[in-house]
Amino acid sequence: MQELAEIASDPDAFERFYRQHVEAVQRFVARRVDDPFLAADLTADVFVAVIASAGSYRRSRGEPVAWLYGIARNVVAGERRRNAKELRNVACVRGRALVDEEDLAALHERIDSESSARSLYRELSRLPAGERAVLELVALDGLSVGEAGRALGIGGVAARVRLHRARRRLRSRLDLLDLGRSDVPEVTA
Amino acid sequence: MSNFEERLLRELRSLVEAPPIDRGQPRLIWPGRRLVLAGGLAAVLAAAAATGVFFLSAGTQAAYGVTRNADGTVTVEIDSLSDAAGLQATLRAIGVNAVVQYLPAGKTCKQPWFTPAGAAAHEMHQTAVGRTSDGATRFTISGNQPAGTTLVISTQTGPGREQALGIAWAEGPVPACQVVDAPAGSGPLGGPPADGSTTSGQG
């Protein structure tokens, strides 16, 4: 497994990580926002936060993808870590400034393909924050319950309890949801 | 990858290639840290020699950060009025000729302390002196400092004995500060109070 700490200081290590995950990050963002320019900004913010946080990564906090999704969720939820925010302020990496017409079409396409996920995302906003976080990562992003728990810094048992409660609450609202699987569920809204 | 992805990768690579040189003491975990601006008083203290001024409360902890950015500019962040020598040494170590002078409240350096540099030196500023969301103060300067100039960062005393921080550019050597009592209403860096607007930091 790639040593994540290296990506904060080794440009080549960062590039490998970026190429491996940039599509997943963009899809993660597209499942949550429908503005292509905001999506570009958030994609940039996620990777800036990754650079700022990589030095503190520990394997005990989960596999890299779970760690990455945890960061991405914080960024999109406006809860980015302070050091990442500071670094971004200094770096002034603005994703939307890097978008041309061709990119815009691709961003729209990606956003359109995730419209059902965004419907679910909006529906999840009615849930308590802790329960929502677990269900979001499992149902929208395909993490296992364990991975979601590690991404959120909670134990597997706590994650399962929250997921159970979230499903129970949501089931009364969305009978169409099938969230019984704990890994990569198919979700329709 | 798409054009956007390639461009973003280039930007991010440059960010990785230019990590912070020195972050001073850890400053991101202090819930009790306070750097409080004193509202409109900043305008009173604005003076021609200063390019930025802001107020800080007493009793803060030592911390600063100096970052060499990817584009060659240098960002200075001051969390408290402590460890002036450390900040000065850090700036000099990365090629910024600087003098940092923190004084107790009510004190200033005897005037005239140094010769203000011409307007060209003020173009060194890439951003105004500002305040971060968590209360620190920050400014960014060009990495190409004119020969013979010195960046001067110094505390001052406001009309109500508030502490302020002034940023200025000096021409030629900056003599040692002779600490004297600050007259009430002295401007940044000991100059007279000005009636103009100031740059930033208040709010």
Is the pTM for the entire model greater than 0.80? no
Q: Where do the domains of chain B lie? A: 3-190
- For residue B124, the SS3 value is coil
Among A29-33, A43-47, A130-134, B197-201, the least confident range = B197-201
Cα–Cα dist B140/B76, whole Å: 6
* B115 vs B41 pLDDT, higher one: B115
Interface test with B, best of A98, A100, A101, A107 (most B CBs within 10 A): A98
A103/B2 CB distance under 8 A:
yes
**ipTM for the complex?**
0.76
% of chain A beyond a pLDDT of 70: 77
Q: What strands lie across the sheet with B137-141, from one edge to the other?
A: B64-68, B74-78, B137-141, B130-131
Q: Which residues of A touch B2 (CB under 8 A)?
A: 102-103, 106
Say whether residue B9 is in contact with chain A using an 8 A CB cutoff. yes
DSSP state of B106: T
Question: Closest Cα of chain A to B64: distance in Å?
Answer: 13
Say whether residue B8 is in contact with chain A using an 8 A CB cutoff. yes
B75/A90 CB distance under 8 A:
yes
Please report the pLDDT score of residue B135 as a whole number. 61
- For residue B98, the SS3 value is strand
Q: What is the mean pLDDT of residues A17-38?
A: 91
Say whether residue B127 is in contact with chain A using an 8 A CB cutoff. no
Q: Where do the domains of chain A lie? A: 4-113, 115-171
Asked if residue A142 lies in contact with residue A183, where contact means CB atoms within 8 angstroms, the answer is yes
Torsion of CA A33, A37, A41, A43, to 10 degrees: 60
Strand intervals (E) in B22-83? 50-56, 64-68, 74-78
Say whether residue B11 is in contact with chain A using an 8 A CB cutoff. yes
Q: What is the mean pLDDT of residues A18-22?
A: 94
Which numeric CATH code is attached to A115-171?
1.10.10.10
* A2 vs A41 pLDDT, higher one: A41
Asked if residue B188 lies in contact with residue B131, where contact means CB atoms within 8 angstroms, the answer is no
pLDDT in tens, A100-140: 888 888 888 888 888 888 888 888 877 888 888 898 888 88
B130 phi and psi, to 5 degrees?
A: -135, 175
Say whether residue B72 is in contact with chain A using an 8 A CB cutoff. no
| CA B179-B182-B187 angle, 5° bins | 115
B8/A93 CB distance under 8 A:
yes
The partner residue sitting opposite A90, judged by closest CB among B2, B67, B134, is B67
Cα–Cα dist A5/A14, whole Å: 10
Cα–Cα dist A163/A149, whole Å: 10
Query: Residue A44: closest CA among chain B residues belongs to which residue?
Result: B8
DSSP state of B59: S
Say whether residue B1 is in contact with chain A using an 8 A CB cutoff. yes
Total CB pairs under 8 A between chain A and B: 74
Model confidence at A9, in pLDDT bands (50, 70, 90)? Answer: confident
Please report the pLDDT score of residue B195 as a whole number. 32
Reply yes or no on whether the pLDDT at B54 is more than 70: no
Please report the pLDDT score of residue B159 as a whole number. 52
Q: Which residues of B touch A24 (CB under 8 A)?
A: none
Q: Kindly give, in sequence order, each residue whose CB lies less than 8 Å from that of residue B148, ignoring residues fewer than 6 positions away.
A: B171, B172
The partner residue sitting opposite B16, judged by closest CB among A11, A85, A103, is A11
Pairing label, strands B50-56, B163-171: antiparallel
Q: Which residues of B touch A9 (CB under 8 A)?
A: 16, 19
Which of B95-99, B140-144, B182-186 has the highest mean predicted lDDT (pLDDT)? Answer: B95-99
| CA B88-B91-B94 angle, 5° bins | 150
Q: Which residues of A touch B127 (CB under 8 A)?
A: none
Cα–Cα dist B144/B89, whole Å: 18
Reply yes or no on whether the pLDDT at B37 is more than 60: no
Residue A23 tokens, joined: 């599509």
Model confidence at B171, in pLDDT bands (50, 70, 90)? Answer: confident
What burial class does residue A78 get, using C-beta atoms within 10 Å of its C-beta: 0-12 exposed, 13-18 middle, 19+ buried?
exposed
The continuous run of DSSP H or E covering B140 comes out as: strand B137-141
Model confidence at B157, in pLDDT bands (50, 70, 90)? Answer: low
Cα–Cα dist A148/A121, whole Å: 16
Please report the pLDDT score of residue A93 as a whole number. 59
Model confidence at A17, in pLDDT bands (50, 70, 90)? Answer: very high
DSSP state of A139: I
pLDDT in tens, A42-82: 898 888 878 877 876 777 666 788 888 888 887 887 643 34
Pairing label, strands B137-141, B130-131: antiparallel
Cα–Cα dist B171/B112, whole Å: 13
Q: Kindly give, in sequence order, each residue whose CB lies less than 8 Å from that of residue A58, ignoring residues fewer than 6 positions away.
A: none
Pairing label, strands B149-157, B98-101: parallel
Say whether residue B195 is in contact with chain A using an 8 A CB cutoff. no
